[in-house]
Amino acid sequence: MTDATPPVPEHESAPPRFPSVPGHYPTQTPVPVAPEAVSLTDGQWRRMHPATPFLRGGLALVAIVGVLIANLRDRAVNLFVPDPGSSGRGGGEDEGFYRSLDEFGGVWLVGGLGILLVIALVVAFSYFSWRRNTYRVTDDAVEVRSGILNRQHRQAPLDRIQGVNINKPLFARLLGAAKLTVATAGQGSNVELSYLRAVDADELRRAILGLVAQHRRVAAGAVRPGGTLADTVHPPAAPVAPRPLVLGPDGQPLPGQIGPGSSPLGGLDDPLTRRVNEFFAPEPELLEVEPDSIVRIPPARLVASLIYNWGLVWVLVVVAGAIVVPLVVPEVHGWIWFILVPFVIAMTGAIVSQTLKLLRFSIAQTRDGVRIGYGLLSITNETIPPGRIHAVEVKQPALWRGLDWWTIRITRAGSATVDSNGTVAMNTLLPVGSRADVERVLAVLLPEHTIPAEVVEAGLTGTGDSGGYTGSPRRSWVYLLWGRRRNGVQITAHTALIRRGVLSRRLVAVPLARVQSVSLTQGWLARQLRVASLQPQVVLGSIVTLVTALDRDVALRLINEMSSAITAASAHDDRAG
């Protein structure tokens, strides 16, 4: 097994394994590939970060040892502090000391040896597990091997990759490590590389996404077939300078700017200083000449959006009950706090946790796809390659109506997959934003699906047949009640737009090239009312793409129109690559 990679000579510049993808995104500035990134994709097996055993199980071991020590602290105190209630050995006051000293040869010796044995076994198992946990990236797949007794070998083919995510929990950031997850189209099929050096994870993410884009071009015939992907690349790109720092009158970077050439600890060069600089430095993606985030979410708005929702209604109900119930039943006055206090603590904890998770939220369109970043202490960066979004939903909860706030979420293949740590892929592309933010995010998520502004406006707030939407007939009130006027659908060249919801408004955009099939259903009551339901089928997700209670003849016309549009959109998508 080879862990080292031959260094690249200084007089030779390693050619990039992937060029920029022309024709997909407005930003065409190529990002240079560091030699380390090229070496990480040479097909050689490599081990994870040396701190991986500690990050995976070391914290639990420390907690177990802490519990054992806490349970034995009384014996530790009596070992050196006499028991004031004892009469002493031989008339002295040292009886507690001698008794504890006698017990030391039994309880303490056995307990100490037991703890040391457990620690030794855990350390040995973790070490050999780390030695057997390797990964490699080839021109065809990302592979991971792990296991001591039960061996496991997982592969993520490049043409099945839905996104590459980087997660940096707080303790991992302190050690300069990061977890890289390769999301694929399948339940439980993600390939997880935990943990890598943070720098390697960032470079490897970029390299994998470049290989994915290369596969798309090969499949679309944009490059010559045959040979390896390395044979079809463009000439080396010119170096791109990092984003310049703002200097003060004295020529030094202004405070708060951490990047190349600046350091919170000055010019020191030691492991601790480098770790501090990595912790406070912006993400490597942000140092490249890539577009800035298209939205800015003020922290006050983020906190208000988490409070001003249906959770607030439940808080008010519980608080009102805590005030009214003791007045009606005085006997429960003391017990009501056992319900109110834990409830308030739980709600506060949830709001603080979500706030810390969504702070520094950013979304931008890059050469590799849609980039999402979020988190204050634990940082997560996700990149969704082109063509991986199957449905987009713009939603306005009822309590946000007066503030004109909206949220956006998506459905993508494999998005419901839960990794080994129980975390789910981030499907919220805009936690809270204005109507202008919605238009910008839709333009990024659907770059080739030009949707006129008046169509989006009619989908968000319109009713009836406004904006070119096909609504439901009057007789459909049996199904939709007062939501009939908001119900509607419109089919464009590349997108199916579905509008519904009265209290909570919703607009669903489905890229036709991602539609798996189209269904038309009609139950007994629908046959009597001459209505039918139309649904473009996409991959499994939380977004509902069903349009209910359309006129039967209109639904028949729309299913034929949608089928033709799906065929044309799929052919266009294949040619675009």
The pLDDT assigned to 491 comes to 93
pTM above 0.85, yes or no: no
The pLDDT assigned to 437 comes to 93
The pLDDT assigned to 228 comes to 43
Q: Has residue 564 got a pLDDT over 50?
A: yes
Chain segment 474-522, per-residue pLDDT in tens: 999 888 888 899 999 999 888 999 999 988 999 999 999 999 999 999 9
**Cβ atoms of residues 202 and 188 within 8 Å:** no
Q: What is the mean pLDDT of residues 412-416?
A: 63
What is the DSSP pairing of strand 428-433 with strand 406-412? antiparallel
What band does 5 get if pLDDT is binned at 50, 70 and 90? very low
Q: Name residues whose C-beta falls within 8 Å of residue 137's C-beta, 6 or more positions apart in sequence.
A: 40, 41, 43, 143, 204, 207, 208, 211
Q: Could you tell me the sign of the dihedral formed by the alpha carbons of 322, 325, 329, 335, in that order?
A: negative
- Sequential DSSP letters for 11-34: TSPPPPS----TTT-S--PPPP--
Q: Has residue 191 got a pLDDT over 50?
A: yes
The pLDDT assigned to 264 comes to 46
DSSP annotation of 361? -
**How far is 179 from 204, CA to CA, in rounded Å?**
11
Q: Has residue 289 got a pLDDT over 60?
A: no
Q: Has residue 408 got a pLDDT over 80?
A: yes
Q: Has residue 190 got a pLDDT over 90?
A: no
3-state secondary structure of 274: helix
Q: Has residue 356 got a pLDDT over 60?
A: yes
**How far is 95 from 289, CA to CA, in rounded Å?**
74
Q: Has residue 20 got a pLDDT over 70?
A: no
What band does 391 get if pLDDT is binned at 50, 70 and 90? very high
Q: What is the mean pLDDT of the chain?
A: 75
Chain segment 130-169, per-residue pLDDT in tens: 888 899 998 889 999 988 888 889 888 888 888 888 888 8
Q: What is the token pair recorded at 199? A: 């720098």
The pLDDT assigned to 42 comes to 84
Angle at the Cα of 51 from the Cα atoms of 427 and 64, rounded to 5 degrees: 90
Chain segment 296-326, per-residue pLDDT in tens: 999 999 989 988 887 777 777 877 877 777 7
Q: Name residues whose C-beta falls within 8 Å of residue 187's C-beta, 6 or more positions apart in sequence.
A: 414, 416, 417
Does 574 or 561 have the greater pLDDT score?
561
DSSP annotation of 377? S
Q: Has residue 415 got a pLDDT over 70?
A: no
Q: Has residue 234 got a pLDDT over 60?
A: no
What band does 89 get if pLDDT is binned at 50, 70 and 90? very low
Q: What is the mean pLDDT of residues 278-291?
A: 50
What band does 341 get if pLDDT is binned at 50, 70 and 90? confident
What band does 351 get if pLDDT is binned at 50, 70 and 90? confident
Q: Has residue 57 got a pLDDT over 60?
A: yes
CB-count burial class (<10 Å; 0-12, 13-18, 19+) for 526: buried
Q: What is the mean pLDDT of residues 161-186?
A: 85
CB-count burial class (<10 Å; 0-12, 13-18, 19+) for 547: buried
Tell me the percentage of the chain whose pLDDT exceeds 90: 23
**How far is 468 from 327, CA to CA, in rounded Å?**
57
